[in-house]
Amino acid sequence: MNVGILQDWVSHLFFGESYYLGGIWEQLLVSGVIFLALIVLSAVLYYLIRKVILGVFTKMVKLTKNNWDDALLSSRLFKWLAMLAPVTLFWHLSPYIFDKSSKVSGVGSTIHMVSEILLVVLILLAINSVLNVIERIYQHYEVSRELPIKSFFQVIKIILALVGIIFIISTIIGKSPLYLFSGLGAMTAILMLVFKDSILGFVAGIQLSANKLVAQGDWIEMPKFGADGEVMEVALTTVKVKNWDKTITTIPTYSLISDSFKNWRGMSQSGVRRIKRSLFLDMGTVKFLDDVMVEKMREISLLEDYLKEKEEDIRQWNDERGVCADDLINARALTNIGTFRAYVQEYLKSNPKISKNDTLLVRQLQPSEHGLPVEIYVFTNDNNWIEYEKIQSDIFDHFLAVLGEFGLRVFQSPSGSDMTAFVTKK
């Protein structure tokens, strides 16, 4: 279409066949009429896309059972597409509004430039919406917990934004985008400094995803940043953690590569959880069992097999060496702490909440000023936090309650009541 023909047609429509379009006001009037007609055409086009086409698509989506089309409908993609159509129309037809040889040609150039800038911005927004839709759909699949893609999409968005800025600048200065792309080499150092965190985060995101170090839903601990909770989001520059006290901690993504952290995913997937806890006993209560205590121990059903086996083993050992059982120094004999350890082990074996396929260990540790530690190292078959704490508490409630039956006492530093009892006895 020729610009002059369009303007002549409009001028003849308003001023007649013999009118010559020469004055600036006449040119503005004709161009204004064409501009208003273009606005009306753009409005009609926007209405058709936003109301009619989108309305039909909405009704179709409601009839389907898919989730991806719902995510597409809830996004802003159709909003940007609806705006993209009239802007494209303006960009394409703006040269026909004002004659380049006329006195108002600058107005047409400005409209064309603004349309081109809006076109670039809307295309970028539409692509961002598509990426957001893909990310939301991807998060509905289990693989998204193992391989998050948010950081990769953020890198794509940054690259698109940089490309868009270059196109906008090239439009404003009237130069080819290739002219600006060729100058990026000199700006590489500045770009690396400005986007240092993004570059490090991108590299860290690749390593985290490739090695499956952390994923959404994992329970991680990172004391350096005060993080102890569930991973909510693995982004380009930060990892968001929701702590168990409901606070939110953000960790630089690269720190998960450069620093150490604890990931409880293995425990969650195994279905079991470890109990590693000690009872600190007063070493002054450790002693050999006399006949009365041995008979008392026989009444404990869990110790029946242990006592038979242990007494036979001790008797053979003493007989082989001709040692009298009453000689406590040279002979072997049962002790209350050894019997208690055996009871603890049998109790744990009989507990239905303790895993039988994992390590079950009851041992003594190095004595210290806090007493003699007897450590329990077992795994519960329920790793739910609340149930785990309940199982652990029930076990130690029982052990603390039965210690006195073995002549043992828990060690604790003297308190006010202890000192009062000591003075009274004295």
286-321 CB burial, b ≥16 within 10 A, e <16: beebeeebeeebeebeebeebbeebeeeeeeebeee
Q: What is the band of 3 on the pLDDT scale with cuts at 50, 70, 90?
A: very low
Condensed to tens digits (0 to 9), the pLDDT of residues 137-164 reads: 887 777 776 667 777 787 788 888 888 8
Residue pLDDT, tens place only, 411-423? 987 765 555 555 5
DSSP 8-state assignment for residue 368: B
Percent of the chain past pLDDT 70, that is, above it, reads: 77
Pick the range with the lowest mean pLDDT from 16-20, 179-183, 321-325, 331-335: 16-20
Q: How far apart are CA 265 and CA 213, in angstroms?
A: 9
Task: Map tokens 């107005």 to a residue.
Answer: 107
18 confidence band (pLDDT: 50, 70, 90): very low
Amino acid in the structure at residue 325: A
| d(C-alpha 100, C-alpha 6), whole Å | 13
pLDDT of residue 19 exceeding 50: no
User: Is-contact 75 107, C-beta < 8 A?
Assistant: no
Per-residue pLDDT tens digits for 202-219 = 777 777 776 778 888 888
Nearest to 110 by CA among 123, 122, 94, 121: 94
- Measured in whole angstroms, the distance separating CA 401 from the mean position of its chain's CA atoms is 43
DSSP-based three-state secondary structure for 21: coil
Average pLDDT over residues 20-41: 64
Q: How confident is the model at residue 1 (pLDDT cuts 50, 70, 90)?
A: very low
Provide the pLDDT confidence category of residue 21 given band limits of 50, 70 and 90: very low
* Confidence at 24, pLDDT banded by 50, 70, 90: low
- Record the tokens describing residue 40, joined without a space: 């009306």
Q: How many CB atoms lie within 10 A of CB 249?
A: 18
CB neighbour list of residue 212: distance below 8 Å, 6 or more residues apart: 146, 147
| Structural domains present in the chain | 3-140 (no CATH), 205-270 (2.30.30.60), 273-425 (3.30.70.100)
> pLDDT (tens digit, 9 = 90+) per residue, 375-395?
999 999 998 889 999 999 999
Tokens, residue 200: 């490090």
Q: Any idea what DSSP says for residue 335?
A: B
pLDDT at 426: 54
Phi, then psi, of 254 in degrees rounded to 5 = -65, -25
Q: Cβ contacts of residue 133 below 8 Å, gap of 6+? A: 68, 71, 72, 75, 77
Q: What are the backbone angles phi and psi of residue 218, rounded to the nearest 5°? A: -70, 150
Residue with tokens 């998204």: 144
Q: Which residue has the higher pLDDT, 23 or 398?
A: 398
Residue type at 10?
Answer: V
What is residue 193's predicted lDDT score, i.e. its pLDDT? Answer: 66
Asked if residues 261 and 221 have their Cβ atoms less than 8 Å apart, the reply is yes
CA 95, CA 108: separation in Å to the nearest integer? 6
Average pLDDT, the chain: 80
pTM of the entire predicted model:
0.57
Q: Which of 24-38, 96-110, 350-364 has the lowest mean pLDDT?
A: 96-110
Q: Where are the alpha helices (DSSP H) in 276-415?
A: 291-298, 304-321, 336-350, 385-402
